[in-house]
């Protein structure tokens, strides 16, 4: 949860369906509050899209009623990826875009994300204003001012066309056989169509949503699924998206899996090769050290920010950069889109493979991913700040950093949702990294008992 806010986290409002805040009553009030903050004079348009969770219908109706009660008109997009909703918000000059999705979470969860008229996630300050409005009694506008709702029947067509425009008009994937794991989520109807229209032979898997099977053993959080599918179908490559379509990971015919850092590297090198890369590439504190080192060897700057694609986007905006992402597969190409887009990233990688006539494994050859070990250390009742400021713990971190040298990295990060300190160690050797991580975890546990 972001500081100073009760409901909004780093990626909107999220929780278990039927429990606060993910109830129809809250969604109704949230729609009203968002409209009152973004268009206090009334009017304007809200576009609402969702992933394939069964509860999406319930929240769609509640949000629709909330916006209408505030006097805002509504355009219902149906199941579409998060980046599609962001793009349509921007291109249709809507006041706000709403995504009903819990991204990579299981089907019993859901969430609500808001985009401004520029197709970007709302800044913290606006979300705070919406939270303040939530505390005010809801008042419906006069009857003649109540908003009206309509279905946007061409929403999918518009997004498919947009995706293809991110590549040159001559782009063709003819001759490639590609598996697409749609996570039984929002990409199920659009991702296969985009790649087919570009000439690829497409095998769509996890593309039969039933309202409950989203992210269930498939998608970007289960990369073994796309690896097995690529091999069993004799395909060249495969891409796996998450439930709302803003993440992507890849696999090749040899069973190799490529995460967000590797795909970000390929796209960065492609932009650099045609002198289209602007500003630094932006990652997070969790981005692999190998990515930073490989970009440095290529003369490309790299900056880190805290975990969360919204923070990557904010840093890109401040530095004038166009490319950033997270190792989870969020990749933001600001020269094409206003937010992370799994399909756009997958298209960029495939286009690089085709135009360079180089296999993905070779494109990633200069990138040496450092083994990364993640462990959790309980706080045992002591406060996060006290533990993180512990002098003996700081000394232990310094000693391990010196031991690892330039080919290693240490990160201690308090969990935002659990009484834990996340311990991350990268090193040139997995065994050494594991030993250092276990040593640090013990140091955190000792600090938590002082």
Catalytic residue positions, numbered: 103
User: Is beta strand 248-252 parallel, antiparallel or unpaired with respect to 237-241?
Assistant: antiparallel
Question: Rounded to the nearest 10 degrees, what angle do helices 342-356 and 155-165 cross at?
Answer: 40
443 Cβ neighbours under 8 A, 6+ residues apart: 392, 393, 396, 397
Q: Is the dihedral of CA 66, 69, 74, 78 positive or negative?
A: positive
Contact indicator for 80, 159 with CB cutoff of 8 Å: yes
Question: Residue 128 is inside which H or E element, if any?
Answer: helix 124-134
The C-alpha atoms of residue 99 and residue 13 are separated, in whole angstroms, by 10
Map residue 425 onto helix, strand or coil: strand
Q: How many other β-carbons are positioned within 10 Å of the β-carbon of residue 86?
A: 27
The C-alpha atoms of residue 138 and residue 275 are separated, in whole angstroms, by 52
- What burial class does residue 296 get, using C-beta atoms within 10 Å of its C-beta: 0-12 exposed, 13-18 middle, 19+ buried? exposed
Q: What is the DSSP string of 367-382?
A: --PPPEEEEEEE-TT-
Contact indicator for 295, 265 with CB cutoff of 8 Å: yes
Whole-angstrom Cα Rg for the chain:
22
Tokens of 35: 């409209």
């Amino acid at each position: 949860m972001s500081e100073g806010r009760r409901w909004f986290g780093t990626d909107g409002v999220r929780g278990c369906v039927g429990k606060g805040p993910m109830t129809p009553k809250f969604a109704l009030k949230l729609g009203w509050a968002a409209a009152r903050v973004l268009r206090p004079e009334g009017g304007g348009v809200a576009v609402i899209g969702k992933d394939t969770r069964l509860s999406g219908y319930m929240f769609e109706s509640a949000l629709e009623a909330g916006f209408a009660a505030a006097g805002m008109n509504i355009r219902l997009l149906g199941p579409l990826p998060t980046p599609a909703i962001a793009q349509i918000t921007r291109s249709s000059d809507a006041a706000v875009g709403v995504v009903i999705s819990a991204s990579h979470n299981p089907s019993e969860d859901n969430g609500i994300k808001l985009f401004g008229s520029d197709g970007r996630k709302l800044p913290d300050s606006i979300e705070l204003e919406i939270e303040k409005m939530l505390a005010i009694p809801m008042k419906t506008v006069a009857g003649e001012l109540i908003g009206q709702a309509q279905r946007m029947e061409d929403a999918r067509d518009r997004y498919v066309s947009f995706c293809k425009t991110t590549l040159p008009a001559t782009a063709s994937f003819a001759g490639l056989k590609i598996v697409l794991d749609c996570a039984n989520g929002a990409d199920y109807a659009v991702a296969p169509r985009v790649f087919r229209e570009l000439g690829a032979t497409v095998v769509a898997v996890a593309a039969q949503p039933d309202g409950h099977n989203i992210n269930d053993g498939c998608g970007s959080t289960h990369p073994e699924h796309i690896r097995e599918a690529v091999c069993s179908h004799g395909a060249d490559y495969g891409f796996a998206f998450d439930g709302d379509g803003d993440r992507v990971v890849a696999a090749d015919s040899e069973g190799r899996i490529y995460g967000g850092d590797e795909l970000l590297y390929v796209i960065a090198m492609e932009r650099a090769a045609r002198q289209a890369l602007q500003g630094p590439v932006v990652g997070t504190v969790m981005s692999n050290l190998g990515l930073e080192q490989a970009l440095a060897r290529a003369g490309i700057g790299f900056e880190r920010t805290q975990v969360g694609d919204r923070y990557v986007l904010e840093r890109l905006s401040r530095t004038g950069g166009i490319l950033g992402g997270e190792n989870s597969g969020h990749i933001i190409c600001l020269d094409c889109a206003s937010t992370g887009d799994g399909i756009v990233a997958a298209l960029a990688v495939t286009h690089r493979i085709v135009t360079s006539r180089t296999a993905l494994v070779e494109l990633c050859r200069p990138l040496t991913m450092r083994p990364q070990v993640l462990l959790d250390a309980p706080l045992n009742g002591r406060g996060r700040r006290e533990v993180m400021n512990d002098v003996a713990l700081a000394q232990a971190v310094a000693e391990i950093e010196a031991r690892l040298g330039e080919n290693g990295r240490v990160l201690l990060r308090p969990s935002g949702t659990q009484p834990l300190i996340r311990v991350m160690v990268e090193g040139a050797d997995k065994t050494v990294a594991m030993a250092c991580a276990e040593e640090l975890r013990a140091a955190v546990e000792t600090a938590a008992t002082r």
